[in-house]
Structure 1
Amino acid sequence: MAKTQLNVRVDEDTARAARERATARGMSVNRYIEELVRQDAGEAGRAFVDAAADFMRQYESVFAEEFTEARGTGAGEGRG
């Protein structure tokens, strides 16, 4: 994967913490930041999927009823 340079400014305490944590994990600060962003993006994606699944569970009967009536079929009919 191609790399793109990203310059950010943080206060000295944040920079120190990033260096210390990266060193403790045996990785560069660059790699540490990359992993934090990937983890954050993954959590947002999982949160969205979990929320969507919860929504579908809550309203499953409403959707089933609506789409069954719209197709003019009984439950389980029209599938193949």
Structure 2
Amino acid sequence: AEAVGARAHGPVTQGDFLKRVGIDTRAAALMQKATPEVATDISVALKRLTDTGRSGMGSMFKVLGISEPRLTGLAGLSDLEKAGGN
């Protein structure tokens, strides 16, 4: 992509990307309004999507963004987010 003039952002792990774009906040909001059974399902799904262990997909997959060259950052993929620990 960069060879033809685009800008690459990332890659970052799926878990890091999802956390940077607010999956924890969204899951918490959904769980507050859910029945206990559904809240448990949301919690289990969150863990599966973001965990890095054997049963988690958080480090199994990576996210890469491609943009036009003047765009310096993409949500969840910005170097500033990495430095800030978001």
Asked if TM exceeds 0.5, the reply is no
* Higher RCO (CA-CA < 8 Å; seq separation 6+): 2
By percentage of residues, which structure has more strand? 2
TM-score normalized by the length of structure 1: 0.29
